[in-house]
Amino acid sequence: MYSKNAWKKYDKESIKELMKFNDEYIEFLSENKTEREITAFSVKECKKLGYKDLNDVKSLKAGDKVYAVNRGKNIACFIIGSEDILNGINVLGAHIDSPRLDIKQNPLYEDSEFALLDTHYYGGIIKYQWVARPLAIHGVVVKKTGEVINIVIGEDDKDPVLCITDLLPHLGKDKLAKTANETIEGEGLDLTIGHMNLNQYKDSKLKDEILKLLKDKYNIEEDDFVSAELEVLPQGKARSMGLDSSMVLGYGHDDKVCAYTSLRAILDTDKVTRTSCCILVDKEEVGSIGNTGAQSKWFENVIAEIISKMKNEYNDLMLRKTLSNSYMLSSDVSAGYDPLYKGVFEAKNASYLGKGLTFNKYTGARGKSGCNDANPEFIAKIRKALDDDNVYYQTAELGRVDQGGGGTIAYILANLNMNVIDAGIPVLSMHAPFEVVSKVDVYEAYLGYISFIKNIK
């Protein structure tokens, strides 16, 4: 159903399943805030359903279910179809990184009886949104011995939280005269982590007290920050929002909402005609670079291994044919139409909360710069599949033509000659510490992803 209010589809009984699904999503979003946490969650869920590690499988046949993990921050889950894989595969692809602050490699310092950690922001944050709010630290510290120490500070009710302080308005004349982008500078996003120095010696330093605490509680020494990956994130759980509980307020809907619904779509599907895959990648918010981003050759390598284990032979032409014949939904969110900021949207081509799965034929900026522009033949296939399955969907652009723009991983997979289109849900307050989505859109996305897996050929 195109561009209609999706809530009207549901009666009192069917709404229960929608709300149950969103309760499970809220729990996922609250407990899995980083790429590593989501990958570990995904592996656990795969194993529950009998998926096997691709490394442990010598051959593959129709009906087999396997997964592959890349450096603890990517996962690809496959259901092997009955059709020849050279005819292509159906792919759901989402990213699991979100805007945040990263702790620097030499971060700890003391100033004016405060201990602080230096940070470097990751992705397109609005800096002033990150001050004077409770924050948590998630991540890993890897010792020289190879020991991996998992860190979560601030999420348990017994934990202290952390904070970046802000200037009081009484002394903020000069600060408030700056543009919003300059009000808080990147080097001013330092995390206050301590203030108590009980050592009676005159030359004692608060920094030393903090290092002792880190050593005693976490077995971390100052040099260990060099081989650490620690993310500063908004503290707290995702919550139902609105007096009618129709929305979800939480950190990282972009793009964890599409990651979760894509993963669930694969895991809740038993058999397929075309081999189908859900891939969750890292680094989209900074350009999809590196060996865990979508530009990595890892996904191609995994598909090559799948082909080899299905056909007991392999050559590069097989891989190229498979990729060229494949269809993909780049499962990524869109900017939801916000009645408080109407001026940046073109109303006829905007994404509205409550109208279901959103397709962006192209993203990019201004003159479609940097976009993937999906072929209409592919879009027609999707329209038919969704209409046949009574899935509600809409189309959108990312704001007014000259207002700005953005991108996803779509163009990267399109470079492999796949048919690709962006397909996610609308989000309010995108890239803020807490974002907003509609529960009906979350559920319609899940249903739409299942329809894509089963019906596109």
Looking at the DSSP assignment, which residues form a beta bridge with residue 163? 192
Residue 356 domain-assigned?
Answer: yes
Instruction: Indicate if 12 and 113 belong to the same structural domain.
Output: no
d(CA 91, CA 444): 18
- Domain limit, last residue, from 174, 205, 234: 234
The encoded tokens of residue 402 equal: 């000259």
* Neighbour count for residue 57 (Cβ, 10 Å): 14
**What ranges in 32-179 are assigned the alpha helix state H?**
35-48, 173-176
Instruction: Indicate if 423 and 400 belong to the same structural domain.
Output: yes
The whole-number pLDDT of residue 202 equals 60
Instruction: Indicate if 185 and 93 belong to the same structural domain.
Output: no
What is the pTM assigned to this prediction? Answer: 0.96
- The domain in which residue 66 lies consists of 6-98+251-455
The whole-number pLDDT of residue 201 equals 61
Instruction: Indicate if 75 and 104 belong to the same structural domain.
Output: no
- Domain limit, last residue, from 178, 204, 234: 234
Residue 359 domain-assigned?
Answer: yes
Instruction: Indicate if 378 and 297 belong to the same structural domain.
Output: yes
Q: What's the total number of domains in the chain?
A: 2
Residue 113 domain-assigned?
Answer: yes
CATH number (domain holding residue 224): 2.30.250.10
Element (H, E) at 94: strand 90-95
The whole-number pLDDT of residue 199 equals 74
Among 59, 52, 75, CA closest to 302: 75
Instruction: Indicate if 209 and 356 belong to the same structural domain.
Output: no
Q: Which 3 state secondary structure label does DSSP give 204? A: coil
Instruction: Indicate if 84 and 105 belong to the same structural domain.
Output: no
Q: Which 3 state secondary structure label does DSSP give 29? A: helix
Instruction: Indicate if 378 and 361 belong to the same structural domain.
Output: yes
* Residue range 7-41, pLDDT digits in tens: 999 999 999 999 999 999 999 999 999 999 999 99
Long-range contacts of 413-417 (CB under 8 A, 24+ apart): 413/91, 413/93, 413/294, 413/328, 413/330, 414/372, 416/300, 416/323, 416/324, 416/326, 417/320, 417/323, 417/324
The whole-number pLDDT of residue 416 equals 94
Mean pLDDT, 10 residues at a time, the chain of 457 residues? 94 96 98 98 98 97 97 97 97 97 96 95 95 97 96 95 95 90 93 86 80 93 96 98 98 97 97 97 95 96 97 96 97 95 93 96 83 92 97 92 82 93 96 98 98 96
**What ranges in 226-324 are assigned the alpha helix state H?**
253-267, 298-311, 316-324
The whole-number pLDDT of residue 371 equals 82
* Residue range 58-94, pLDDT digits in tens: 999 999 999 999 999 999 999 999 999 999 999 999 9
Looking at the DSSP assignment, which residues form a beta bridge with residue 2? 393
The residue type of 148 is: V
Instruction: Indicate if 115 and 46 belong to the same structural domain.
Output: no
